[in-house]
Structure 1
Protein backbone atom coordinates (compact mmCIF):
# COMPACT_ATOMS: atom_id res chain seq x y z
CA UNK A 1 0.00 0.00 0.00
CA UNK A 2 1.33 3.40 -1.00
CA UNK A 3 1.07 6.28 1.45
CA UNK A 4 0.03 9.69 0.13
CA UNK A 5 2.62 12.44 0.04
CA UNK A 6 2.53 15.03 2.76
CA UNK A 7 1.05 18.39 1.81
CA UNK A 8 3.40 21.01 0.39
CA UNK A 9 2.75 24.50 1.73
CA UNK A 10 2.98 27.45 -0.65
CA UNK A 11 6.45 28.84 0.10
CA UNK A 12 5.54 32.51 -0.32
CA UNK A 13 4.39 35.44 1.76
CA UNK A 14 2.97 38.54 0.08
CA UNK A 15 3.79 42.03 1.33
CA UNK A 16 0.85 44.24 0.31
CA UNK A 17 1.99 47.34 2.22
CA UNK A 18 2.39 49.29 -1.07
CA UNK A 19 -0.80 47.96 -2.73
CA UNK A 20 -2.31 48.51 -5.22
CA UNK A 21 0.86 49.71 -6.99
CA UNK A 22 3.40 47.19 -5.74
CA UNK A 23 3.38 43.70 -4.24
CA UNK A 24 6.42 41.87 -2.92
CA UNK A 25 6.50 38.08 -3.12
CA UNK A 26 8.92 36.66 -0.53
CA UNK A 27 10.21 33.07 -0.58
CA UNK A 28 9.61 32.08 3.04
CA UNK A 29 10.11 28.40 2.29
CA UNK A 30 13.12 26.28 3.18
CA UNK A 31 14.26 25.59 -0.38
CA UNK A 32 14.93 27.61 -3.53
CA UNK A 33 12.25 27.75 -6.19
CA UNK A 34 13.10 27.57 -9.88
CA UNK A 35 11.50 28.85 -13.11
CA UNK A 36 9.36 31.28 -11.11
CA UNK A 37 6.91 33.32 -13.17
CA UNK A 38 4.16 35.80 -12.28
CA UNK A 39 1.29 36.62 -14.64
CA UNK A 40 -1.23 39.34 -13.76
CA UNK A 41 -4.95 38.99 -14.59
CA UNK A 42 -7.23 41.92 -13.92
CA UNK A 43 -7.47 45.70 -14.15
CA UNK A 44 -4.32 47.69 -14.69
CA UNK A 45 -1.14 46.38 -16.26
CA UNK A 46 1.71 44.38 -14.76
CA UNK A 47 4.48 43.18 -17.03
CA UNK A 48 4.98 39.42 -16.76
CA UNK A 49 7.93 38.49 -14.54
CA UNK A 50 10.17 35.46 -14.64
CA UNK A 51 13.34 34.50 -12.77
CA UNK A 52 15.40 31.31 -12.94
CA UNK A 53 15.81 30.94 -9.18
CA UNK A 54 14.54 32.58 -5.99
CA UNK A 55 16.37 31.53 -2.83
CA UNK A 56 14.79 31.39 0.64
CA UNK A 57 14.52 34.88 2.13
CA UNK A 58 14.73 36.59 -1.28
CA UNK A 59 11.87 38.49 -2.87
CA UNK A 60 10.44 39.53 -6.21
CA UNK A 61 8.49 42.76 -6.68
CA UNK A 62 5.46 43.00 -8.96
CA UNK A 63 4.50 46.52 -10.11
CA UNK A 64 0.91 47.11 -11.22
CA UNK A 65 0.23 50.22 -13.32
CA UNK A 66 -3.16 51.90 -13.62
CA UNK A 67 -4.91 49.75 -11.00
CA UNK A 68 -7.80 51.29 -9.09
CA UNK A 69 -7.37 50.91 -5.30
CA UNK A 70 -10.84 49.31 -5.06
CA UNK A 71 -10.26 46.76 -7.82
CA UNK A 72 -9.10 43.24 -7.26
CA UNK A 73 -7.09 41.07 -9.57
CA UNK A 74 -5.20 37.84 -9.58
CA UNK A 75 -1.59 36.89 -10.13
CA UNK A 76 -0.83 33.38 -11.27
CA UNK A 77 2.42 32.27 -9.62
CA UNK A 78 4.15 29.31 -11.25
CA UNK A 79 7.33 27.62 -10.02
CA UNK A 80 9.30 24.38 -9.81
CA UNK A 81 10.75 22.76 -6.72
CA UNK A 82 14.32 21.40 -6.78
CA UNK A 83 12.92 17.95 -7.77
CA UNK A 84 11.47 19.71 -10.90
CA UNK A 85 7.82 19.21 -9.88
CA UNK A 86 5.70 22.16 -10.98
CA UNK A 87 3.24 24.17 -8.88
CA UNK A 88 0.67 26.91 -9.57
CA UNK A 89 -0.85 29.32 -7.07
CA UNK A 90 -3.48 31.99 -7.68
CA UNK A 91 -2.63 34.98 -5.52
CA UNK A 92 -5.37 37.54 -4.94
CA UNK A 93 -4.54 41.22 -5.29
CA UNK A 94 -6.73 43.23 -2.98
CA UNK A 95 -6.80 47.01 -2.98
CA UNK A 96 -5.64 48.75 0.17
CA UNK A 97 -3.15 47.60 2.78
CA UNK A 98 -4.01 44.05 3.78
CA UNK A 99 -1.77 41.28 5.01
CA UNK A 100 -1.17 38.04 3.11
Structure 2
Protein backbone atom coordinates (compact mmCIF):
# COMPACT_ATOMS: atom_id res chain seq x y z
CA UNK A 1 0.00 0.00 0.00
CA UNK A 2 1.42 3.36 -0.99
CA UNK A 3 1.02 6.24 1.45
CA UNK A 4 -0.20 9.69 0.43
CA UNK A 5 2.20 11.30 2.88
CA UNK A 6 5.70 12.53 2.11
CA UNK A 7 8.40 10.09 3.15
CA UNK A 8 11.60 11.58 4.54
CA UNK A 9 14.81 10.03 3.19
CA UNK A 10 16.03 7.88 6.11
CA UNK A 11 19.74 8.31 5.34
CA UNK A 12 22.30 10.97 6.14
CA UNK A 13 25.51 11.19 4.09
CA UNK A 14 28.83 12.04 5.73
CA UNK A 15 31.98 12.50 3.70
CA UNK A 16 34.99 11.23 5.59
CA UNK A 17 38.69 11.44 4.97
CA UNK A 18 39.84 11.09 1.37
CA UNK A 19 37.28 9.02 -0.55
CA UNK A 20 35.22 7.55 2.31
CA UNK A 21 31.47 8.13 2.34
CA UNK A 22 29.21 7.03 5.20
CA UNK A 23 25.46 6.49 4.89
CA UNK A 24 23.70 6.36 8.27
CA UNK A 25 20.14 5.19 8.82
CA UNK A 26 18.59 7.98 10.92
CA UNK A 27 15.08 6.53 10.84
CA UNK A 28 13.30 4.17 13.22
CA UNK A 29 12.87 1.60 10.42
CA UNK A 30 15.06 -1.29 9.34
CA UNK A 31 16.15 -0.72 5.73
CA UNK A 32 16.66 -3.93 3.75
CA UNK A 33 18.35 -4.60 0.44
CA UNK A 34 20.37 -1.38 0.59
CA UNK A 35 22.53 -1.13 -2.53
CA UNK A 36 24.68 1.59 -4.06
CA UNK A 37 25.13 2.12 -7.80
CA UNK A 38 27.57 4.66 -9.21
CA UNK A 39 26.92 6.19 -12.64
CA UNK A 40 29.58 8.20 -14.46
CA UNK A 41 33.37 8.24 -14.44
CA UNK A 42 33.84 7.53 -10.72
CA UNK A 43 35.01 4.21 -9.32
CA UNK A 44 33.46 2.29 -6.45
CA UNK A 45 33.94 -1.25 -5.22
CA UNK A 46 31.13 -3.75 -5.56
CA UNK A 47 28.78 -4.06 -2.62
CA UNK A 48 26.31 -6.75 -1.63
CA UNK A 49 22.81 -5.76 -0.51
CA UNK A 50 22.90 -4.71 3.14
CA UNK A 51 20.46 -4.36 6.00
CA UNK A 52 20.73 -1.12 7.97
CA UNK A 53 19.08 -1.02 11.36
CA UNK A 54 18.37 2.34 12.99
CA UNK A 55 21.68 4.08 13.71
CA UNK A 56 23.78 1.71 11.58
CA UNK A 57 26.17 3.01 8.93
CA UNK A 58 27.28 1.71 5.53
CA UNK A 59 30.76 2.86 4.44
CA UNK A 60 32.05 2.95 0.89
CA UNK A 61 35.10 4.29 -0.94
CA UNK A 62 34.29 6.33 -4.04
CA UNK A 63 37.07 7.74 -6.20
CA UNK A 64 37.09 10.08 -9.17
CA UNK A 65 38.65 13.36 -10.26
CA UNK A 66 35.46 15.06 -11.33
CA UNK A 67 32.69 13.33 -9.39
CA UNK A 68 30.71 16.54 -8.97
CA UNK A 69 30.64 17.10 -12.73
CA UNK A 70 30.07 13.68 -14.17
CA UNK A 71 28.95 11.12 -11.59
CA UNK A 72 25.88 10.38 -9.49
CA UNK A 73 25.20 7.75 -6.87
CA UNK A 74 21.87 5.97 -6.59
CA UNK A 75 20.95 4.35 -3.28
CA UNK A 76 18.19 1.74 -3.31
CA UNK A 77 16.42 0.25 -0.29
CA UNK A 78 13.23 -1.47 0.81
CA UNK A 79 11.05 -0.31 3.70
CA UNK A 80 9.53 -2.87 6.10
CA UNK A 81 6.31 -2.69 4.01
CA UNK A 82 8.26 -3.94 0.99
CA UNK A 83 8.10 -0.62 -0.86
CA UNK A 84 11.21 0.12 -2.93
CA UNK A 85 12.85 3.54 -2.79
CA UNK A 86 15.63 5.18 -4.81
CA UNK A 87 17.61 8.24 -3.77
CA UNK A 88 19.90 10.08 -6.18
CA UNK A 89 22.97 11.63 -4.53
CA UNK A 90 25.09 14.24 -6.27
CA UNK A 91 28.67 14.93 -5.30
Residue 50 of structure 1 aligns to a residue in which SS?
A: coil
In the alignment, what sits opposite 1:96? none
TM-score under structure 1 length normalisation: 0.77
1:64-98 CA distance string (max 9 Å, x none) = 23x11x531211100000010000010112xxxxx
1:21-77 CA distance string (max 9 Å, x none) = 111111111111011100111223102323341101001111123x11x53121110
Q: How many residues align?
A: 87
The answer to whether the 8 A contact 1:36-1:53 is kept is: yes
In the alignment, what sits opposite 1:47? 45
In the alignment, what sits opposite 2:12? 13
Runs (4+) off by over 4 Å: none
TM-score under structure 2 length normalisation: 0.84
Q: What RMSD in Å do the two structures reach over aligned CA positions? A: 1.6
- TM superposition shift of 1:18: 2.6
- Residues 20-99 of structure 1: pairs in structure 2 closer than 5 A: 21-65=19-63, 67-68=64-65, 70-72=66-68, 73-93=71-91
Rg larger in structure = 1
Structure holding more helix per residue: 2
